[in-house]
């Protein structure tokens, strides 16, 4: 039997390595040739198995939350029909409902996986606006990335939902293993944003870099001027909303990068036209001083702002 055949009927491989019967195998509709490649099997030789799926595996960072809570935060009241749903709230505040399949189901069952920072590798489907989880990463107290699944200490088998062990029926536990993101994710990380890039790519790159919205840095405000009536203000708000509808990249918040750098990304007609660096004062708060005129941000293990033209100090 070739390796690819073994993996295709994965349970045989696992059964050969542990005493117990294998956990039920995930099924998939997305992978090449109908062969499902579970990343947790990558420690076994899988060289002959196509790893890349035609549906691209992507990384999403954020926090998994109960759908109703997330809606409530956005001022949407809903009834108990939505009780069971969970979604990942990305670092950009977008909500992606998680598909309760062999892997995503854990987020529905186990509150220990919710309301904490996670990175999920999986399929982000544009046609359904859902996220199908393949790998779960959490972070320990020092921020170290941990591949996260369930484990039976007695039988030494991994599982993907919380339930009595498939084999011995004992309790299983969440297992954390320090592990980097898979190569097919990191290889795809774009390491540079530059003037002229489409804002969708800019934001996707920031998300891959782990940028978070920086609330102190920038947010849209409408400041009434003397003599303005409420009607004038309402009209200004309406105008702003319309402009934002036409260009969703208008008035983005600032973004804080994992190294502490805080930037604004400026756009016109959905293209990046410049980057501003915030100079942080005491306690890491923006103190209104900025350096403008940056034209690129490169990541090569460290974040480096670049500019094609001379700096212009701005305060």
CB of 261 vs Zn ion, minimal distance in Å: 46
Beta strands in the chain (DSSP E): 57-66, 86-90, 95-97, 117-125, 130-139, 145-152, 157-159, 173-178, 192-194, 212-214, 254-256, 262-268, 271-280, 286-294, 296-299, 303-306, 312-314
CB of 168 vs Zn ion, minimal distance in Å: 3
Contacts of 288 (CB under 8 A, 6+ apart): 315
Residue 23 corresponds to which tokens in the numbers above?
Answer: 């956990």
CB of 11 vs Zn ion, minimal distance in Å: 16
Which residue, 7 or 152, is less far from Zn ion as judged by CB? 152
CB of 106 vs Zn ion, minimal distance in Å: 17
Question: Which of these, 279, 304, 306, 302, lies nearest to 294 by C-alpha position?
Answer: 306
Which residue, 121 or 152, is less far from Zn ion as judged by CB? 152
Does residue 177 contact residue 190 with C-beta atoms inside 8 Å?
A: no
CB of 166 vs Zn ion, minimal distance in Å: 7
CB of 22 vs Zn ion, minimal distance in Å: 12
Residues that bind Zn ion (CB under 5 A): 152, 154-155, 165, 167-168
Which residue, 135 or 165, is less far from Zn ion as judged by CB? 165
Which residue, 152 or 265, is less far from Zn ion as judged by CB? 152
Which residue, 88 or 155, is less far from Zn ion as judged by CB? 155
Does residue 199 contact residue 52 with C-beta atoms inside 8 Å?
A: no
Round to whole Å and give the CA distance between 67 and 83. Answer: 7
Q: Please give the DSSP secondary-structure letter assigned to residue 98.
A: B
DSSP letters, 128-167, are TTEEEEEEEEEE-TT--EEEEEEEETTTTEEESS-SS-TT
CB of 217 vs Zn ion, minimal distance in Å: 50
Which residue, 153 or 269, is less far from Zn ion as judged by CB? 153
Which residue, 109 or 156, is less far from Zn ion as judged by CB? 156
């Amino acid at each position: 039997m070739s390796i690819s055949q073994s993996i295709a009927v994965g349970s045989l491989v696992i059964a050969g390595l542990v005493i117990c019967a294998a956990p039920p195998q995930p099924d998939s509709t997305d992978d090449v040739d109908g062969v499902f490649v579970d990343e947790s099997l990558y420690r076994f030789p899988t060289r002959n198995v196509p790893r890349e799926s035609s549906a691209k595996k992507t990384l999403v960072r954020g926090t998994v939350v109960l759908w109703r809570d997330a809606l409530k935060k956005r001022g949407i009241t809903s009834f108990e029909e939505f009780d069971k749903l969970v979604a990942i709230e990305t670092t950009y505040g977008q909500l992606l409902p998680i598909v309760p399949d062999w892997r995503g189901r854990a987020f529905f069952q186990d509150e220990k996986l919710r309301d904490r920072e996670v990175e999920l590798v999986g399929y982000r489907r544009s046609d359904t606006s859902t996220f199908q989880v393949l790998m779960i990463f959490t972070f320990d107290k020092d921020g170290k990335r941990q591949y996260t699944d369930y484990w039976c200490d007695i039988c030494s088998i991994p599982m993907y939902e919380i339930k009595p062990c498939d084999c011995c029926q004992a309790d299983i536990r969440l297992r954390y293993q320090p592990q980097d993101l898979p190569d097919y994710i990191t290889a795809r990380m774009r390491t540079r944003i530059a003037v002229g890039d489409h804002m969708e790519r800019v934001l996707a790159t920031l998300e891959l870099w782990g940028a978070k919205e920086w609330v102190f840095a920038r947010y849209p405000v409408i400041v009434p001027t003397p003599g303005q009536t409420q009607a004038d203000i309402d009209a200004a708000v309406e105008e702003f909303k319309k402009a934002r509808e036409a260009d969703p990249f208008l008035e983005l918040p600032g973004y804080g990068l994992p190294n502490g750098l805080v930037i604004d990304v400026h756009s016109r007609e959905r293209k990046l036209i410049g980057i501003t660096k915030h100079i942080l004062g005491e306690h890491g708060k923006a103190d209104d001083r900025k350096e403008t005129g940056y034209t690129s941000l490169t990541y090569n293990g460290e974040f480096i702002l670049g500019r094609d033209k001379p700096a212009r100090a701005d305060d």
